[in-house]
Structure 1
Amino acid sequence: MKNKSMNKILALGVVAAMTAGMLAGCGSSASTTDGAAAGTEAASNSAASNGEVPTLVWWTIGGTPADDFDQAVSQISDYAEEKIGVRIDVKIAGWADYETKMNNIINTGEYFDLMFVNNTNYTKFVNLNALENITDLVQTETPDLYNFIPTDLWEGAKIHGNVYAVPTYKDSSLTQFWMLDDAYVQKYNIDVDSIKDYATLNDALQTIKEGEGKSKYPMQLAQGSTFNGFFNNYDGLASGLQPIGVKYDDASRKVVCTLEQDDIMDGLNWLHKWYQDGIINPDANVVTDGGKGSIFGSAQGWPAAATTWAFNAGIEKYDLTQVFGPLYTTETIQGSMNAISANSKYKTEALKVLQLMNTDSKFRDMCAYGTEGNYMEYAEDGTVQKLRDDWNWPSYTQGTFFILSTQADGDPDAWNQVKEQNESAVSSTCLGFALDVTNIQNEIANCNTVWDKYKNDLLTGASDPATAVPACIEELKAAGLDTVIEEAQKQVDEFFAN
């Protein structure tokens, strides 16, 4: 199943797509080309050079922080100050607020030093000249970081031939799992391995619902935490617009409106049925946090991650079934990165924080699990035992998995599982392509405004697809969807004709 030309595609195809497909932006090509030199000059003027201990503002995504989160970050900063002479101020935007908050920060020029970015905003922020070109700086100032992360990932992070973010060295392919609380699996004798699609999932959910009664909702969803992985079948072309894509195995690479496809409509109908049947919580489309204890879950990861998923959900054990993947797309490769602000006063220091994150296991563990003695503790064998379930700075946003301590009740083979999934992943037929939105920025923005109006209701099952989908498509077309699809098809055809 593995694509034998994968490394070549990653090293050449992704770069070619990003270099050729995204050259135009809000800034000139000269400003991006000269960014690395400018970054080095700015770094040399850093306040750290005159004896100050800088505190770097780091914006990221996650759940609502615990009351003592800042205190824990202060302890983490003590370690960072001891090691590299800097402190960090971690600011978390909620799952439902992240996109809007990051856009506002960039558009208003609010100061920050580090920012978690992904395939929904990375290219956009680069084209706004908001992120620092670290192509040279990462090699001269943090060689350990540069040498640790594989070349393919650095190549995959390039735009205009330059690097503007440090990619996280972890699971770069997408594998989707569905899970059920083991207590209910045992209680109702459910064969989890047999669950592979909506119909077989429905049988299990209906059994649990009938047994537990009206007050129990087996699937707890919320704004920003809708049905995870719903559009997996479609390569979104790094467009940032879910209503368009190419079926990942479509050899013709036809760009379509995903909402017009039978498989997507089928999934939306199942969600609506579950909402009507009381399987999904009735306030799913209006609350921003689904809470803990969901009997069903859907997540992208690897088998050993079930321990973390269960712990975070307040569940003793989840039983998993793999329902999709592993799959490589351009978007999965760019799914988690950390960028440095072009306006940061501490560019070199910011890179040193990311180097520490990717090379120092103690620092990595503290950021991933929380501080020792409060959020976690080490067992005699060096594994981590979580003491609390409210550390809401997600590990996947921070840095590599491969120096993380595994959890005491987890699988010691976890990181090998990640590597094996990457090695066995199949490739989207559009791997390497990233849409250049220069000529369709307004249309994409307008379409996203429309989609934002409908998505929470549709992806929590609250609205009837029979009426909501046609209404959404009509508004999308009025906002310029056909123009976006036409331009995307043109670019796809040209890219793969070469």
Structure 2
Amino acid sequence: MKKKTLSKILALGLVSVMTAGMLSGCGGDTADTGADTGSAGTEAAGEEAAADDSASSGEVPTLIWWTCGGTPADDFEESIAAISDYTEEKIGVRLDVKIAGWSEYDQKMNNIVNTGEYFDLMFVNNTNYSKFVNLGALENITDLVQTATPDLYNFIPQELWEGAQIHGNVYAVPTYKDSSLTQFWYLDDTYVQKYGIDVESIKDYATLDPAVRAIKEGEGDSFYPIKLHQGALFNGFFNNYDGLAGGLQPIGVKIDDETRTVVCTLEQEDIVEGFNWLHSWYMDGIINPDANVITEGTKGSCFGTAQGWPAAATTWQTNEGVEKYDLTQVFGPIYTTETIQGSMNAISVNSNYKEEALKVLQLMNTDSKFRDMCAFGVEGDHFEYVSDGVVKRLRDDWTWPSYTQGTFFILSVTDDSDPDAYEQVKAQNEAATPSVCLGFALDISNIQNEMANCNTVWDKYKYDLLTGASDPNEVLPKCIEELKAAGLDTIIAEAQKQIDEFFAE
């Protein structure tokens, strides 16, 4: 994206929901571990052959759509089949939606791409988008989206299409949503009232500490005020640094550093302080002792951290089975390239149904009935309409996250949600300040090996560090040493070179 478009981005009023499942930002940094690939080649060949047969026989094609989310209910496939009846009627295709768990998403998507497993659509974000483009896995839709799905192209603001560009081309459809990031921490109102906690006064680790310690002391040894797991680490931990849309948390530029100096985030004083707070809470039983090893948590979290807006508390409460959360805004709102690329859907370069895939995304962004189905499930089973544009959830096990799918401007609201939710988002966008690197996205073409190697190292340490299980005074030096041996300094030098050239234009 050229710098001259940035002022336009700041004027956008866009909408999304960052659900509680996104406490980890839908995964973190990724690297292929080589696991789970034994039968991938056979599966890929079978699926591609089936797609070819369907295309040649004139049968209704079924598009494979990979995304992330919670564990699907037992009847999820039946529900998708019911939704597919509608897509078949409207655009002549059916869907096979496959959900990778929050903690599995990174590795699973890597394995699919690296083994050539067949798919048609894939949810991508700022942790893997540029990498998959550089690997040649995603279709260049720059022209096709305009010719095959003009309604989709015209619906999404031009600034978003520009924000989704890599090497001047578009490889994914951006979700028309909030383009700024605002971080909230929240506490179960039951414990807020019980222990007289002033939630609004909590703005950082130091002011959170007395609250979680009071709850821990009052509730006892078996109660953990902060519950984390591999799929939900401490969300927002690196917010002070622009990750340059590179998908590697150990590098970044301080969001307000006018010199735009690329640094190793793990060496920065504020990040080290955060690790120390997490470790102290872990050692004192405030964070659950198995946080670094379990892949999914249980409902009912006393404390949470998520990106969203005040009305999003309704979703967090529903997902956690908590009656009421009390919120405090601790960061933002701010714009970065990563927030713009935070939710997109891409088409496989090997898909036999590229135009059909785009038509699915067009339907998602223009047809409110289909939009509601994907967001809430099957009418009469998962939800019901109580009035025009208002739904009531009948079940709480629909785990396909709405923010990964499409726009919220045509989506019905739930009967327990704040009717002013969208206005809250617009207000946050209007108040957002830009990162000093807004508009820049790191091109990893010349550093792919170093990025992959560093991601492998970071994956080795991140679960222990971001749950507090490791003593940062002992582990951070080892992690940084291994990162440097894997090419971190080369990455930082390349990123600095690109930034200097980009902002010199």
Q: List runs of 5+ in structure 1 lacking aligned partners.
A: 12-44
Distance 1:50 1:71 in 2: 25
Map 1:212-227 to 2 at 5 A. 212-227=219-234
**Is it true that 1:60 corresponds to 2:41 in the alignment?**
no
Change in 2 beyond 3 A, CA 1:343/1:10: farther
Cross-structure match for 1:445: 452
Which residue identity does 2:292 align to in structure 1?
Answer: N
Which residue identity does 1:467 align to in structure 2?
Answer: E
Runs of 4+ with >6 A deviation = none
Cross-structure match for 1:22: none
Conserved? CA contact 1:47–1:345, under 8 Å: no
Cross-structure match for 2:266: 259
Distance 1:76 1:207 in 2: 47
Conserved? CA contact 1:406–1:414, under 8 Å: no
Cross-structure match for 2:412: 405
**Is it true that 1:232 corresponds to 2:239 in the alignment?**
yes
RMSD: 1.8
**Is it true that 1:494 corresponds to 2:498 in the alignment?**
no
Cross-structure match for 1:18: none
Distance 1:472 1:234 in 2: 19
Distance 1:366 1:180 in 2: 31
Distance 1:7 1:77 in 2: 40
Conserved? CA contact 1:10–1:432, under 8 Å: no
**Is it true that 1:392 corresponds to 2:399 in the alignment?**
yes
Shift of 1:9: 6.6
SS at match of 2:350: coil
Shift of 1:380: 3.0
Cross-structure match for 2:476: 469
Map 1:113-128 to 2 at 5 A. 113-128=120-135
Map 1:75-94 to 2 at 5 A. 75-94=82-101
Distance 1:361 1:49 in 2: 32
SS at match of 1:379: strand
CA deviation profile, 1:140-169 (whole Å, cap 9, x unmatched)? 111111111111011111122221110000
From 354, 358, 367, the equivalent of 2:361 is 354
Cross-structure match for 2:178: 171
Change in 2 beyond 3 A, CA 1:10/1:160: farther
TM-score (norm 2): 0.89
Conserved? CA contact 2:233–2:466, under 8 Å: yes
Shift of 1:459: 0.2
Aligned length, in residue pairs: 463
Which residue identity does 2:359 align to in structure 1?
Answer: K
Which residue identity does 1:229 align to in structure 2?
Answer: G
**Is it true that 1:326 corresponds to 2:333 in the alignment?**
yes
CA deviation profile, 1:97-132 (whole Å, cap 9, x unmatched)? 111111111111111100001111111111222111
From 444, 457, 479, the equivalent of 2:486 is 479
Which residue identity does 1:345 align to in structure 2?
Answer: N
**Is it true that 1:70 corresponds to 2:66 in the alignment?**
no
Which residue identity does 2:450 align to in structure 1?
Answer: E
Distance 1:487 1:110 in 2: 32
Distance 1:155 1:457 in 2: 37
Amino-acid identity (%): 78
CA deviation profile, 1:364-403 (whole Å, cap 9, x unmatched)? 1111111122222221354121222221111111001111
Distance 1:159 1:480 in 2: 23
SS at match of 1:177: strand
Distance 1:184 1:361 in 2: 39
Shift of 1:496: 1.5
Distance 2:10 2:171 in 1: 17
Which residue identity does 1:453 align to in structure 2?
Answer: K
Cross-structure match for 2:169: 162
Q: List runs of 5+ in structure 2 lacking aligned partners.
A: 12-51
Cross-structure match for 2:201: 194
Conserved? CA contact 2:292–2:464, under 8 Å: yes
Cross-structure match for 1:32: none
Change in 2 beyond 3 A, CA 1:352/1:381: closer
Which residue identity does 2:327 align to in structure 1?
Answer: L
Distance 1:388 1:463 in 2: 38
Distance 1:366 1:291 in 2: 26
Shift of 1:8: 4.5
SS at match of 2:82: helix
Distance 1:497 1:136 in 2: 29
CA deviation profile, 1:37-60 (whole Å, cap 9, x unmatched)? xxxxxxxx9966964211100000
From 461, 467, 470, the equivalent of 1:454 is 461
Distance 2:491 2:166 in 1: 21
Cross-structure match for 1:307: 314
CA deviation profile, 1:224-265 (whole Å, cap 9, x unmatched)? 210001000000111111001000001111111101111001
Shift of 1:6: 3.5
SS at match of 2:409: coil
Conserved? CA contact 1:47–1:346, under 8 Å: no
CA deviation profile, 1:305-361 (whole Å, cap 9, x unmatched)? 110011001111111111001111111111110011111111111111101111111
From 101, 105, 121, the equivalent of 2:112 is 105
Conserved? CA contact 1:170–1:418, under 8 Å: no
Change in 2 beyond 3 A, CA 1:381/1:68: same
SS at match of 2:414: coil
Which residue identity does 2:207 align to in structure 1?
Answer: T
Distance 1:6 1:478 in 2: 37
Change in 2 beyond 3 A, CA 1:274/1:256: same
TM-score (norm 1): 0.90
SS at match of 1:183: helix
SS at match of 2:460: helix
From 129, 132, 148, the equivalent of 2:139 is 132
